Amino acid sequence: MVIKCKAAVAWEAGKPLSIEEVEVAPPKAHEVRIKIVATAVCHTDAYTLSGADPEGCFPVILGHEGAGIVESVGEGVTKVKKGDTVIPLYIPQCGECKFCKNPKTNLCQKIRVTQGKGVMPDGTSRFTCKGKQIYHFMGTSTFSEYTVVADISVAKIDAAAPLDKVCLLGCGISTGYGAAVNTAKVEPGSTCAVFGLGGVGLAVIMGCKIAGASRIIGIDINKDKYAKAKEFGATECISPQDSKKPIQEVLVEMTNGGVDYSFECIGNVGVMRAALEACHKGWGVSVIVGVAAAGQEISTRPFQLVTGRTWKGTAFGGWKSVDNVPKLVTEYMSKKIKVDEFVTHTLPFDKINEAFELMHSGKSIRTVLKF
């Protein structure tokens, strides 16, 4: 049965989203149709909406930080059933490809090609609006009251979890937390620097603190973000604009040679360089978490690496998604990790454009939209 429901459609790049009635087709084999209960807005949605994303297709239903209830399943689906509480996953986990079988990565490639083209694995879309096919986004499209995802792109979670909070585990919090505990493997007593104090940066700080770091330096030009960063575990915060010296020099001086771990949570290639060069000679590790615009390149002197620094990157915090998102929900439910504290605003879904404005203005960490 086709479902008619409300969705925010991006008809073209650079324009506000439009609340429309869309038709959502039933799930085909190995697909799951989900009633989205809550979704949040992330910078990645804004990046694609801006037109800068080379994989961006329009018209499209954006959104990749969501949570909901399974409405129906296609044939062959065994992992979830109608009524299950779930989080859609933009990095799937098929368990069968060489990436899934390798413990070193979480980058399942089973549906990568079609997902990048904005369609389901069979090459078609489940969304139509005003007679036009609407593209999917990141395999999730959570800016719709109902969405259809591949059965490998869904994690079944604790039914008692509040969906207007755990939706954030679909991207930002998991990404930052995992960057610290999985990718960097922060050690007790270490010194860390976190560049960019948005939602992902705060999650990195939380991960560093849980891992036992003794000094966590937050770096941002927006000083309004410092109080929140300290609440999450930053021991001090600095602004690059407060010194005539490059920020990496400031950090090397502050830390007697550099930090053990640094994290770039912005997506700025200049800051990525600064983060690497702020690392300690011999053992410093810098992790790129932020996504830079298409075509941009990173640079540093090779000597930085020859003398023992390591440059790494991470996607979704290195978590194998189907296995670990339910565990992250459990960690939240047992109060090991923070989630509620990331939510600064809650709005009705119709006010989605307001959520984008709050994000661009730096006034919000995460705005959750409820249907």
DSSP codes of every residue in 243-298: -SS-HHHHHHHHTTS-BSEEEE-S--HHHHHHHHHTBPTTT-EEEE-S-PPTT---
The Cα diameter of the chain in Å comes to 65
The pLDDT value given to residue 53 = 87
**Using CA atoms, how far apart are residues 78 and 76, in angstroms rounded to an integer?**
6
Q: Choosing from 23, 112, 235, 344, which is the catalytic residue? A: 112
Please name the residues in contact with 133: beta carbons below 8 A apart, sequence gap of 6 or more: 125, 127
Low-confidence stretches of the chain (pLDDT beneath 50):
none
Give the amino acid at 125: S
Catalytic residue among 30, 33, 39, 42: 42
Q: Which of 30, 31, 48, 65 is catalytic?
A: 65
Name the CATH architecture for the domain at 173-289+298-317: 3-Layer(aba) Sandwich (3.40)
Residue tagged active-site, from 44, 147, 175, 367: 44
Residue 161 corresponds to which tokens in the numbers above? 């979890």
Domain 3-170+339-370 class, CATH top level = alpha beta
pLDDT of residue 162: 98
Q: Per-domain residue ranges for the chain? A: 3-170+339-370, 173-289+298-317
171 is catalytic: yes
* SS3 of residue 105 by DSSP: coil
Q: How far is residue 264's CA from residue 111's CA, in Å, rounded to a whole number? A: 28
CB–CB of 28/77 below 8 Å? Answer: no
The reply to whether 108 belongs to the active site is yes
Whether residue 44 lies in the annotated active site:
yes
59 with 134: CB under 8 angstroms? yes
In this prediction, residue 362 carries a pLDDT of 87
- 64 annotated active-site: yes
- Residue 287 near residue 261, CB atoms below 8 Å: yes
Q: How far is Cα 243 from Cα 250, in angstroms, rounded to an integer? A: 8
pLDDT score of 199: 96
Q: Which of 30, 71, 85, 108 is catalytic?
A: 108
Could you say which of 5, 94, 330, 354 is catalytic? 94
pLDDT at site 333: 98
167 classed as catalytic? no
Q: Is 57 an annotated catalytic residue? A: no
Q: Give catalytic status of residue 12 as yes or no.
A: no
pLDDT score, position 293: 87
Q: Which two tokens stand for residue 321?
A: 């998604």
Q: Is 345 a catalytic residue?
A: no
- Say how far apart CA 232 and CA 77 lie, in whole Å: 39
30, 33, 43, 126: which is the annotated catalytic residue?
A: 43
Under DSSP, is residue 54 helix (H, G, I), strand (E, B) or coil?
A: coil
Between CA 61 and CA 141 the distance in angstroms is 5
Helix (H, G, I), strand (E, B) or coil at 37: strand
What angle is formed at CA 196 by the lines to CA 192 and CA 199, rounded to 5 degrees? 100
Q: Active-site residue among 126, 136, 142, 171?
A: 171
Catalytic residue among 100, 208, 237, 265: 100
Considering the candidates 5, 23, 97, 105, report the single residue annotated as catalytic: 97
Question: 362 phi and psi, to 5 degrees?
Answer: 80, 10
Q: Could you tell me the two tokens for 126? A: 């489940």
pLDDT tens digits, residue range 205-250? 999 999 999 999 999 999 999 999 999 999 999 999 999 999 999 9
